[in-house]
Structure 1
Amino acid sequence: MPLPQLSTLPNQLSLTTIGRARAWWKRLTPVRQDRFAMLAPLVAVMLFFIAIVAALGYLRIEEMDREQEAVQRDVEYSQQRLRLRLLERQEQFMRVARELANRELSVAEFKTRVEYMLNQYPEVQGVAWIDERRRVKVSSGTAINAASQLITAQENSKRSDTESGFLQARDTALPIYIQQVRNGEFTPLLQLHVPLVDKGRFVGVLLVEYSVDGLYRYGVPSEMSARYAVSLLDGKGALIAGSSIPTKKVVSKFLPWAAPSNEYTMPVSPVGDGLVMRAQAYRASMSVVSSGLFWLVTALSVMTAWMLIANWRHSRRRLQAQQALIQETTFRRAMENSMLTGMRAMDLQGRITYVNAAFCQMTGWSESDLVGRTAPFPYWPEGDREHLAARLEEEMTGNNTAGGFQVSVQRRDRSKFEARLYLSPLIDANGVQTGWMTSMTDITEPNRVREQLTAAHQRFTTVLEALDASISVAPLGSDELLFANKLYRQWFGIRADGHLQLVAEAGVPAAQPNDESRDEVDAFAGLPTTALSETEAERAEIFIAALGKWMEVRTRYLSWVDGRLAQMVIATDITSRRLAEEQAATQAERAQTASRMITMGEMASSVAHELNQPLTAINNYCNGMVSRIKAKQITEEELLGALEKTAKQAHRAGQIIQRIRSFVKRSEPNRTNAEVATMVAEAVELAEIELRRFNVRLNHYVAARLPQLLVDPILIEQVLVNLLRNAAESIDMALRQTAQRVVELRVVPRRVDDKPVIEFSVQDTGKGIAPEVMARLYEAFFSTKADGMGIGLSLCRSIVESHMGRMTAENIYNGNVVTGCRFSFWIPLSEASPDSIRIPRISK
């Protein structure tokens, strides 16, 4: 390819790009072109501002790096000086330690040399010679306190910093530096523990204490202290010598690098992390955000961006106003054409000037056929034209009806429909009437629905009149009767007295009557009528003495047709049902009493055996006392003891008889708050007589702190005794060994359907219940015993269910083998009163 053609290739590419950009720009809508035209300068200003800030930031970061490197060099130099000073003193004290360990230095010479070193080196505050038993041989300066702390720590078994250094020097045989924990009363000290080793044997420690403040004064160069805030820190970062500048963490929101921190920290060898040197620059260089150039560029950029945004917002608002005007005009035209109500405008002379699409669609006439026409209009029926003309004239004179008027309209195809017209003055923008505006609505379908509702209301009223229940509705707080069916009128008449009597005797609170007839505002207007009308109906059974009938009364709140809150009462005659229930309750009580008598009859032999023991004991005690009294071989104390034992046996026999008598006694049901443990104890006392006859052992467990139950204790004891006897008989029929003849009774709290209950369970070790027997277990007069009556379990379940509980039975399996059966029932913990549960009426 020739060279001239290659040179023209970039120009061709640029022309192609420009062409594409122009084509893209032309495809945009005017609104989007205006947005891009206003956005481009703003983006340019922002890019310029970002570039300036980035350049200043880069320069500032470079300056911060140089300052940080200078601080690091100076700190490393000062740390090196301080390290050499410490190593020099360490070497001197190590020579003294070798001489002490080799016994080349006497005590007097050691004291002289220590005094010399304390005077010669100001950072050395104290020296102590401590043997391997922590006995202080020689101490001087601040080392006296350290040596006493070492002895005190040994006596109190509390390890101090001095003791830690002593132990480390003993274990490692190396010089150990210890930074003591700072105490507010004393200046911080640095300890050096030099071990004394004689032929490989530890013989003590040479303790040297340095003043950290002295190390700072004589170890840190003066030019370093003048240029930086130099400080010595302990291992936890606490200041122990020198000066420190509080760190101000002022970080710019947009420039995180605008707040430099010129400081450097490093540990001091050979101490390590226990002594750290830190240097902070007294004055940092001028930050970027404090530069005048930065603020000038920022102000100019913000001002330019604000002007561009303000201009863009002004243009956008003008464009939005134009678009809103166009949309409003389009919306009004669409609304007029899409509304279902026909609109017609007439001038003051009665000539049609405007009709909408709905009006044309209703009448079947086009806009050109109607505009400009005067009465009579083509959509008027021929037979009603005179009446409609008179009505139009009346309406145009100002005698218009607020609710409109109903007319018949004839379509173009001669079909008719019912319509309602509303006429109102047409007022222009200046408040001058220029004509009349008429709206027309097709009410053919609403009229049909209204007629159907009227017929449905008549059918509904007929049904209510034929019901065998009294129905009445009255507003709250008034003695007005809104509705009453035929049966109510027969029983109570046409007044609201019967309604109020039913409400009062049913226990439903009713509001006091007031005189609402004088005020159009409902006194209960603030009540939540919707919520009240959706609540469940209240139910109660009452006796009306005037009628001699038992009534089941149900009440319900509802919102009446006029918006008032009303109360509906439905009363049903249940006299025959109550008589049947009372007879059934009497029969049930007789069955329960018969069951208890049968149970005690079956237990008669066991009870006789139980009573025979105390009676035999009483006979023996009496015969023995008579014989010894005749022989004059008994003292007064022995006679009193024998009489007390005789009385105890008599009391025991009386308790057995009293317990059996209270169990079989026929009495009225009495539900009280009974203790669970007491009921279980009395039932176990009765059942154990029979269990001993069958040679069955009873294990019972009652959970502690059980709440009281609202039950009839005698009935619950009857259930427990029956279940325990059945369990003992099941074990006896299974011919279990003595070790396996066990019945377990457990009473524990539980939760059933998220409500608290008390569960009673009786578990035996018999052969369980066969599947065919399980299906008929609670069936009346069904029994698996040869001499059983089949009413025990049926009565037990009836008693439990009358206490709002449930009874269940299940077999206990060990693999596929049945090892027993468990009967359980639970009684709920209820706050309800005894009257809320149906209790059979039983006569004595």
Structure 2
Amino acid sequence: MLAPLAAVLLFLAAIVSAFGYLRLEEMEREQEAVKRDVEYAQQRVRLRLLERQEQLMRIARDISNKEVDEEEFMGRAESMVIQYPELQALSWIDERRRVKASYAAPSVAVNQQHIPGEVLRPGETESMYGLARDLLQPVYSQPGAETDSAGLLQLHVPLTDQGRFGGVILGEYSIDSLLRYGVPSEVSAKYAVALLDGKGRLLAGSTVPVRSPIASWLPWTAPQANEYEVPVSPVGNGLVIRAQAYRTSLGVIGSGLFWLVGTLSAMTAWMLIGNWRHTRRRLQAQRALVAETNFRRAMENSMLTGMRALDMQGRITYVNAAFCQMTGWSEAELVGRTPPFPYWPEEDRELLADRLEDELQGRTRPGGFQVRVKRKDGSRFDARLYMSPLVDAKGRQTGWMTSMTDITEPNRIREQLQASHERFTTVLEALDASVSVAPLGSEELLFANKLYRQWFGTNTAGHLQMVAQAGVPDQPRTDESLDEVDSFVGLPTGQLEAVQAGNAEIFVHELGKWLEVRSRYLNWVDGRLAQMVITTDITARRLAEEQAAAQAERAQTASRLITMGEMASSVAHELNQPLTAINNYCNGMVSRIKGKQIQEQDLLAALDKTARQAQRAGQIIQRIRTFVKRSEPNRQLADVTQMVTEAVELAEIELRRRNVRLSHYVAARLPQLMVDPILIEQVLVNLLKNAAESIELAQRPTARRSVELRVVPKSVEGQPVVEFSVRDSGQGLAPEVMARLYEAFFSTKAEGMGIGLSLCRSIVESHQGRMLAENIYNGTEVAGCLFSFWIPVSGATNNIAGKDAGVTA
């Protein structure tokens, strides 16, 4: 009886062990299910956070591009908070930590809201603000438990303006709402889902009670709470999602099924034990075989590298899908083939056959070798082959395994890079500018082109000389430069690269040349911060500029002389009147003195009139002499009224000769201008003289022979200016003349030189002004022409005030 009893006990022990084993497997499956569901929930929460982050980054990009103001931001913030319940508040904080705009959900407490205009509160929010400013990347933070915002998750999205920090967009999420709306309902129904902080403290959700101490050492006897937790990306370890499975069974020992199975097992043990063992072992072997086959097939299909197996005679025994894709031949067409293989190019078959023979003899190359492979359609591609021996379970070699990688694209890129480098080097060597690159704080010369080597040699002396003379700092200096510390600590290399290039013109006595020096910072190929200096020889340009300036000055003087030459007859007529009056006064006084018919009072009156006529003639001559006198440009604060008066006095002589009426209007309280008054008078005289000539050429009647000069204040693009305009009643300008109006040596007058208007525009533009010309129409008929120019008001002058109140003459 002991033998059957022992057999029964052993059978029951086996049944108990089997149930325990199955229970452990069930627990593992449950644990895998918890892990899978938690990772699914984490992905849903992550996608929800990334969607909100992308929307906030889009708002930040629009703010950086000046496309969104505070009102537009409030509208978007309100729409997002209403649409997404987990989003509690949106705030716009500028670079001074001041809240520019903020919108919060109605459920947010008042003490947790950011009021526009207030400065960011100190604490963790301020530290995260500083981190976002330093990294220029979105930063997540979860306030500590002691703060009012412990139940919120904050996202700082930085604002950038041309690489500079401009503040952040602060988004605040409700962790409880994030759990409620982010975790799928099927997951929250199966598990107790909770969100924890980095220290394991519960932020939202629920937990299940810890199992009893007895169940801790007998895991299969009572159900346990399977749990799994994973950090929520992109927040990181500061926010963890955890799920705990609810208890759904009473365990193995408390289940009646266990006793029923035990009883039935005891009754049928002698009949089923052999069959059960056999079936169990066969299923295990079948599962292992299926798993191994699926794993091998998935690995083969996922590889981009072609695999080929050869036996010891060189016959193909296996190819994977990637190999067939590369060559274009199917597995059925390749397996069983012997050399020469169909993917060998005809011109390389002899070479490939020799290499295959070397491989079959074990003479393989560790780094592989490069070959050309022919596809089924006849095209070729470059490939690299690696070979390794195939060894069976008994340690015997049964063949060779070859891996093939398509390297056509890497080869093409390598050739393009090499060609690009050669072109780049050729261009730099052929430049007519010196180019040099040197690291900051070092005398090593990283690069120098041909012209630099001709000028300065192969050391950094010329580079440093250009940097020093151009006034560009070659390296930062610190108060700790005497200590053994890094002087570049905290140097913002990224912002230095974004700085615009410096520019300076210097004269190098050693070369006897004027050089234009441009420099900028860059990151060298080895990561070091370097400075590039580009030096161009501008000696010829400087000489040309000096000659052009001298020629322009002579041209201005010549223009004034030509103008006065054209006005010579009018000037002579103007001088003839006071001179004739002086002659008449003198002859009359001589006759009356000889006849003793003049009294002392009459004599004094006649002499006073004679003196006034002589003074008038002298003023005319002095005005002409001042106008045509050649002098250096002398810009000074000049009174507009005085300049207009002197120009009108000169031009009126010509206008009276041509029987043209002149009226001028000067606004009251005009500011003084920083100009050369003689040059501005020259422009006005030329424009008035041209207006009179246009009226005479049009043969207008006396009633329509008029020229109007107006001087009024104006604003151009927000800048205060003084506008001078000359309006005539002539025949206007033809379209072909308008196109070439300011072209040098172009004139519509037979005796004209064509330099008047060209010089006038040059004078105006040298005073940072602009000159315009347009026809005046009366219906479809041209009724005259309007020339105008404006001069910007100097910052040191008086403000323009009041309405126009001038004097019309």
TM normalised by structure 1 equals: 0.45
Higher Cα radius of gyration: 1
